[in-house]
Chains A and B, each alone.
Chain A
Amino acid sequence: MSTTRSTRPPRTLVHPGPSPLSQRWRAGRVLPLVAGLVALVTACPLLFVALEATQSGWDSAERLLGRPLIVTLLWHTVSLAAVVGLATLVLGFGAAWLIERTDLPAKRTWTVLAAMPLAVPEFVHGYCWVSLFPTVQGFWGAALVMTSSLYPLVFLPVAAVLRRSDASTEEVARSLGHGRAAVLWRVTLPQARPALAGGALLVTLYLLGEYGAFAMLRYTTFATAIYTQFETAFDTASASLLALVLVALALLVLLLEGRTARRGGRVVREGSTARPGRPLPLGGWTRPALAAMAALVGTALGVPVYALGYWLVRGSSTTLPSASIWALTATTLGYALTAAAVATAAAVPVALYAWRRDTRLARALERTAYLTRALPGIAVALAVVFFAIRYAQPLYQQPPLLVVGYAVLFFPLALTAVRSSLAQVPHGVEDVARSLGTAPLSVLRRVTLPLILPGLGAAFAMVALTASTELTATLLLAPTGTDTLATQFWTYTTGLAWGAAAPYAAVMTALSVPAVLLLTRRTLGGTRIPREATR
């Protein structure tokens, strides 16, 4: 301890207990280590795609990438991402603003209804639209279906920010002579910018890698080309090469998001001192606003609910679901909940590290996790197959592997939720807690985790929701013989037995309802301040 030989004076060196000095170093290094490890695991798919791509010959690369069609497909992908991104921003922000900033009647109900499309799996969305409105196809069809199923990803975080942020800045702006529209544009919108950017990021990344819903809607994107290489040509190498193009696109999106979110900065006054403002009276606009909300919810939620009902009643293969549906439900829930817990727990160190140290490395770690989201599901699942069978053979096709697969696949969702709730934590609370004599782990337990509890809940709900309807990775990674609701639904629909499939879709949707409720609650917060028992 006192080995330092400085020429300067310190007097006697008295330290209580054994080496308190070293402790700090350990604590300081564990977090980056854990965060790095998590990032490494979630980056596995990227590594796999890169490895496989090197196996692809120059010839096939040239043949595949040199086609004029590739340009068309890229354009399809980018234009759809742009249109859907913009549409979800407008709808998500619009709904959030109406609910959080005006005197719209029945706000609670609208909040839940507006978030509810999340409960409907994407392939069910696609299937419902196609079976009810066969003309919903191509670019605008895809844009419509994707927008109506994805806008809650923007709505929820924006509503959360609007609810927590201080309305007084808006009042100040009014007092400075700005009209409502100007306040909306110049004050409210910038406040919500990080949330808007985060939501748009998830939407866009999702669109880059999506395939199934587009196939149903007869819309081809760059991911279609990747699937062709995987599924028609059985050519993993070429498929991976194409997937790298998606990764590059995703990088671009991340860069854009980073800039936008950063400009928003941390100026929003939140947490302990924010107070709600008076809701804006809609007056004569109440009816149009209600009509708009009804149209949104009717489109996004009504169509799938109606289509499911139709097939439940009309499909001739509909049978009363056998007892096995409950066993499948239990299996599905077990995997989804475990994966949600794992993904949430894994997101905490990464988000925490990036939040504490705003360094380039920390940010890079966080960003890597998002890249995976842009990869088609089959690439992620095959990556897990690749690494598991080589380096974790005993786990291969065992239950933990499917959990890991889900966690890798949906890590970005968990990370987003944890990250946005960390952003609400006043800076300095951890420092203060330590200066009050609390060790780092205790600080985590007593201060940081309780403060981000809403985010943890949201992350958990979001992953559970998505994992319970996942198909591709489930087919590839589940233990042999294990079925989930999604795989059973798939089995029936590929056999054209829509009636028989409908109960499974209905149960999946019903299962998701509590998760969406929890998500809505956690994201928006029932009370403004989380309860805490410590006295």
Chain B
Amino acid sequence: MSGLTVTDLHARHGHSAVLDGLDLTVGDGQLACVLGPSGCGKSTLLRVVAGFHPAASGTVTVGDRVLDDGRRRVAAERRRVGYLPQDGALFPHLTVAANIGFGLPRAARAERAERVAEMLDLVGLVGLGDRHPHQLSGGQQQRVALARALAPRPELLLLDEPFSALDAALRIDLRVEVAAALRQAGATAILVTHDVDEALAFADRIAVMRGGRIAQAGTPDELFHRPADAKVAQALGEANLVPADLDGRTASTALGTLPLAGEPAENGAGQVLLRPRQLRLAPVEEPGSGLLVQVVGSQFRGHDHRVELSADADSGLPNRLVAYTDASPPAPGSAVRLTATGPAHALSGSAGESAGAPTVYVSASSSR
């Protein structure tokens, strides 16, 4: 039982509150991701869980062990919580093997050597045990750091933007590999990042964090299609927020009446989310319905085109919209006919944030 439960966690840097009543649950064996802009407190959350930073109040529990209750805390070295920082922080004076074996009992030599070999194999660095960190590439260094963190079989592994220092191609490869290695090891892990692609690719569960608390948590799919509010919607990818009149199962918008994905929190004037893929463009001359909008610019991205559109001020649409299309869009400046395909997702609190953003627990039972 090594799931993590964080309850009403507060933490401070000096006098400024960094974590402000944060709740988070990660089930045993899950790979969770905390997604948020820099400065939202996500690194501090990891440091509190790891035991490097004290909680001001609230509780941190792994399995059934309370690690920190705001008054007393278990020393970092007794938590069995692994930590993988941004730059890997390998010990430059130790070989790769010694780095990996660092957290293993020093007495049991044979077992240690065996475990180190196992870990080298897991991260695909067999044969490099005698190298020093400076003789490795950046990606290899991160893999060693991962192996080192996993070697003592921690109950929980914390990864603090571990791929951000790497170049793009390497980053994509490595996060897939790391996710695979973690699943193979059966580890419970929390990755902290500001990169949504990383979060979507890596995690079973995503928790969107802002202002020192979790705004919403759920599966990547849930968060992408059914965000709790506009900011979460934007955190997960490009979003068109379209004013709508909500009525139970449908939403009336400037782009027509669309079916709603679920019951809205309240009927009446509101806002729906339409992802760029839900917008369709058609030539003006082509018969059919749709609103006339102007193409502002477009960008070919290999698998599709990203098109920026602008609508008239009195059209009932936001003045800037984004659509992804497979066909080449008309040249900038030309008009197109815009339609939307449902279902639309009604966003709560569109007029303004409701006090006390809803907290959703990520729990093992609701996934898989």
Contact = CB atoms under 8 A, between A and B. Distances in A.
Given A275-B134, A535-B98, A4 B85 contact: no
B89 A14 contact: no
Contacts of A22: 72
Contact of A11 (B61, B82, B91): B61
Given A439-B75, A532-B94, A431 B82 contact: no
B92 A432 contact: no
A21 B156 CA distance: 19
A273 interface: yes
Interface stretch (B34-42, B51-59, B190-198, B302-310): B51-59
Nearest to A435: B83
B148 interface: yes
A275 B133 CA distance: 12
Contact of A530 (B59, B93, B133, B141): B93
Interface in B40-93: 47, 50-52, 57-59, 61, 64-66, 69-87, 89-93
B134 A426 contact: no
A438 B69 contact: no
A218 B98 CA distance: 59
A12 B89 CA distance: 35
Contact of A431 (B5, B52, B75, B132): B52
A174 interface: no
A271 to B, nearest CB: 5
A27 B61 contact: no
B7 interface: yes
Contacts of A313: none
B98 A532 contact: yes
Interface size class, chain B: 35 or more
Contacts of A532: 93-95, 98
Contact of A24 (B58, B76, B80, B95): B76
A446 B103 CA distance: 11
Given A437-B80, A439-B77, A13 B58 contact: no
Interface size class, chain A: 35 or more
A436 B90 contact: no
B127 to A, nearest CB: 16
Contacts of B148: 432, 436
B102 interface: yes
B155 to A, nearest CB: 12
Interface string B1-29: 00001011000000000000000000000
Interface string A443-475: 000110011000000000000000000000000
Nearest to B130: A535
Interface in B79-131: 79-87, 89-95, 97-98, 101-103
A443 to B, nearest CB: 8
B134 A528 contact: yes
A529 B65 CA distance: 40
A1 B72 contact: yes
A499 to B, nearest CB: 50
B81 to A, nearest CB: 6
A9 interface: yes
Interface in A1-18: 1-2, 4, 6, 8-16
A228 interface: no
Contacts of B217: none
Nearest to B103: A436
Given A4-B70, A273-B141, A426-B92, A529 B51 contact: no
A255 interface: no
Contact of A437 (B64, B72, B91, B103): B103
A259 interface: no
Given A429-B89, A431-B83, A535-B95, A437 B78 contact: yes
Contacts of B57: 6
A535 B91 contact: no
B136 to A, nearest CB: 8
A24 B98 contact: no
Contact of A435 (B64, B82, B98, B141): B82
A11 B62 CA distance: 10
A356 to B, nearest CB: 11
Contact of B85 (A11, A273, A428, A529): A428
Contacts of B91: 429, 433, 447, 451
Highest count of chain B CB atoms <10 Å: which of A437, A440, A447: A437
Contact of A273 (B71, B76, B78, B134): B134
Interface in A21-66: 21-24, 27
B59 A432 contact: no
Nearest to A2: B66
Nearest to B98: A534
A427 interface: yes
Contacts of B132: 272, 529
Contacts of B290: none
B74 A15 contact: yes
A434 interface: yes
A249 interface: no
A14 B61 CA distance: 11
B297 interface: no
Contacts of A439: 75, 77
A14 B80 CA distance: 14
Interface in A488-535: 528-532, 534-535
Nearest to A531: B93
A431 B88 CA distance: 11
Contact of A438 (B81, B95, B102): B102
B330 interface: no
A144 interface: no
B61 A10 contact: yes
Contacts of B76: 24, 431, 434-435
Contacts of B98: 532, 534-535
Contact of B83 (A432, A451, A535): A432
A530 B355 CA distance: 56
Contacts of A24: 51, 73-76
A271 B136 CA distance: 12
A21 B132 CA distance: 35
Given A426-B89, A435-B76, A451-B91, A273 B50 contact: no
B149 interface: yes
B134 A8 contact: no
B343 interface: no
Given A4-B70, A535-B98, A435 B59 contact: no
A352 to B, nearest CB: 16
B92 A272 contact: yes
A15 B89 CA distance: 29
- 9 closest A-B pairs by beta carbon, nearest first, are A436-B103, A428-B89, A435-B83, A21-B72, A272-B133, A24-B75, A434-B76, A4-B69, A428-B85
Given A6-B57, A432-B89, A435-B158, 5 more contacts: A12-B64, A24-B73, A272-B141, A429-B89, A436-B149
22 contacts: A4-B71, A10-B59, A10-B66, A272-B132, A273-B133, A274-B134, A426-B90, A428-B89, A429-B89, A429-B90, A435-B81, A435-B154, A435-B158, A437-B77, A437-B103, A438-B77, A438-B103, A439-B75, A447-B91, A451-B92, A529-B134, A531-B93
